[in-house]
Structure 1
């Protein structure tokens, strides 16, 4: 794999991680539950750190301007969350949206890991993928718990 291909993959990961950061921040603003707000803000910070690591990797590969923002799809998803919250006014909707967003991020990271990345880049991407899986499990468990609580 050449340098340009590696940078393109890293920039895709930067975009999806920025989407995660912005998505978790938006979610924190939308939910009523204070524990969810705190959790979402913590996850946003984790995504922000991941972005910084990925941007530094791009710079190490000789590119001075790594991706700086999320994707259009991420912006649309956050808009969808805002509209749905106005219509439904419950935290479950936000949790469902977060879970879907984390599924998309898992797919992007999985595709990146299927590529022939330089070993140092692969280690970083693998580590971030494992953290993403923890986020996904956390969000899924929070949604399941929240749904079960609402039913009782």
Structure 2
């Protein structure tokens, strides 16, 4: 049972991160002016919620009570993103904020997969979800770097 308790604790930590990610993407969808970004962010939010639901099921199967909320810190970061977006009014600032959250989520999953005290079943559940998280992280990172490069190229001081 102590192994189940550890697995439940780790899964609940990841659920919290997935909820934070879903909420961040939903907020980004609401803030995005571009319809393409809006749709992409909303699809990512839905995907993160499905992963969180899968982990909630895994927690229940292990006899635990699943986490239902995101973290207080993430709520504060989203409030900062609202202010930043209102002041800067551009997609790049929203994308930069979301990309930072994705870095954090990916790192949480990597720490969990390295946890040798997890059962093989839980580690496999996390590994499968990590593939989805990493894909989203990598796409967001590529988008951010693409926007940064475009902004740099538009700078009059950029060497042509």
Under TM normalisation by the shorter chain, which class is it?
over 0.9
1:67-92 Cα offsets, whole Å, 9 max, x none, are 00111111111111101001111000
1:91 aligns with 2:91: yes
The count of residues paired between Structure 1 and Structure 2 equals 151
Query: What is the CA RMSD across the aligned residues, in angstroms?
Result: 1.2
Would the aligned equivalents of 2:22 and 2:44 in 1 still touch at CA under 8 Å? Answer: yes
Matches of 2:130 and 2:80, distance apart in 1: 25
Asked if structure 1 preserves the Cα contact closer than 8 Å seen for 2:3 and 2:118, the reply is no
Structure 1 stretch displaced more, 113-122 or 91-100: 113-122
Distance in 2 separating the partners of 1:37 and 1:123:
32
1:73-115 CA-partner distances (Å, limit 9, x unpaired)? 1111111110100111100001100110001101111111111
Task: Say whether residues 1:54 and 2:55 are aligned partners.
Answer: yes
Q: C-alpha separation between the residues in 2 aligned to 1:107 and 1:145?
A: 22
Structure 1 residue 130 displacement after superposition: 1.4
Check if 1:28 corresponds to 2:44.
no
Structure 1 runs of 4+ with >2 Å offset: 144-152
**Structure 2 residues not aligned, in runs of 5+:** 155-160
* Residue 5 (structure 1) aligned with residue 9 (structure 2): no
Structure 1 SS opposite 2:63:
coil
- Alignment partner, residue 158 of structure 2: none
Structure-2 separation of matches of 1:102 and 1:29: 18
Structure 1 counterpart SS, 2:69: coil
Q: Which runs of 5+ in 1 are unaligned?
A: none
Matched, 1:144 2:145: yes
- By how many angstroms is 1:146 displaced? 2.6
1:122 matched to 2:128? The reply is: no
